[in-house]
Structure 1
Amino acid sequence: MTDPTVLLRGAGLRSTAPRRAVLEALITRPHSTVTDLSQAVDGQLSNQTIYNALDDLANSGLVRRIEPAGSATRYETRVGDNHHHLVCRSCGVVADVDCHTGEAPCLTPASSNGFARVDEAEVVWWGICNTCAARPQG
């Protein structure tokens, strides 16, 4: 496990207790929501403190926001690559999906529509996870 203090300082952030706690929770629990993170830190941090830490972590590039349509915003520490996500329609579990067609961006738009640079493609696939598929329908 990478030391949160080293990561924070390397990103130019002060290593505060809330930032360390949130980052440590995300390292062990990828794709967490604020509610998940609150539970992970045993309610020791207010939701506002968690949001503030996440905002700092995301703005520094240590954390990536994932915003699947109709789902709570989730956060992960896997940054710097162009991977995508698969979301279960039933339970909401999120899984990483590696981009298999090349370097970022693996999906090139047909037109840049006046953008000077395109550097990321975000794809979300939806389906039913194995656990939910195995549940009796009723």
Structure 2
Amino acid sequence: MNHAGSTRNATDRARSLRERGLRATAGRVAALAYVDAHPHVTAADVFEALREELPSTSPQAVHNVLADLHRHGLLRRTDLPDSAGAQYETRTGDNHHHVQCVVCGRVEDVDCVVGHAPCLTPSDSHGMRVFVTDVTFRGICRTCEDQTSENPTGPTRLP
């Protein structure tokens, strides 16, 4: 299991890529490092961050890299409501969930409600073996709540 903000270096990341059958290209190592340091980012965020370091990269190349990293278990992809696109993080393999502010879009990790996968059992699995539960808690963060209270013409407050 990986956790964002880890102290892994480029050598560790290159080793992780090779262990999963991927070449350790500059783009893959750089993308993995960026997502590791900035969880819940979109492909556009990664492209903007890497374009100076890797001037020959393109938005499509970044999408391809992130798809490869996700497919090989190095990234988790999450599609959250009202987001600019899929979000990526290096915290994988633990079935954690997310809490999302409906005003600013900030996303934070929430550990599994029960502590084992899946955290919730459906009322009817329709004959499927359930192994993952994706839960997104949606609310309003304290910063947005305070701004809404101070500025009545500001963002619409949702229930």
**What is the match of residue 79 of structure 2?**
67
- Find out whether 1:92 has 2:101 as its counterpart: no
Structure 1 residue 128: Cα displacement: 1.0
Q: Given residue 79 of structure 1, which amino acid in structure 2 is its aligned partner?
A: T
Partner Cα separation in structure 1 for residue 42 and residue 143 of structure 2: 20
Equivalent position to 1:40, from 21, 46, 49: 49
> Aligned pair 1:101/2:114, yes or no?
yes
Between 54-63 and 67-76, report the one with greater CA deviation.
67-76
Describe the SS at the equivalent of 1:39: helix
Deviation at 1:133, TM superposition (A): 1.7
- 5+ residue gaps, structure 1: none
- Please say if 1:31 is aligned against 2:44: no
Q: CA RMSD in A?
A: 1.3
* The one of 47, 50, 58 aligned to 2:62: 50
Residue in 1 aligned with 2:4? none
User: For structure 1, which segment, 22-31 or 105-114, has the greater mean C-alpha deviation from structure 2 after superposition?
Assistant: 105-114
Give the whole-Å Cα distance in 2 for the aligned partners of 1:89 and 1:134. Answer: 14
| Cα distance between partner residues in 2 of 1:133 and 1:42 | 35
- Structure 2's unaligned 5+ residue stretches are 1-6, 154-159
- How many angstroms does 1:36 deviate by? 1.1
What CA deviation, in whole Å up to 9, does each residue of 1:30-81 have, x standing for no partner? 0001121122214532110110001100100111111012312101110000
Q: Between 55-64 and 96-105, report the one with greater CA deviation.
A: 96-105
- Matched residues, number: 137
Indicate if the aligned counterparts of 2:82 and 2:105 stay in contact, CA closer than 8 A. Answer: no
SS of the aligned residue for 2:105 comes to coil
When the two structures are superposed, what TM-score results if normalisation uses the length of structure 1? 0.92
User: Cα offset for 1:102?
Assistant: 2.7
| Aligned with 1:119 (options 124, 131, 144) | 131
Per the alignment, residue 16 of structure 2 pairs with: 7
4+ residue runs over 4 A deviation: none
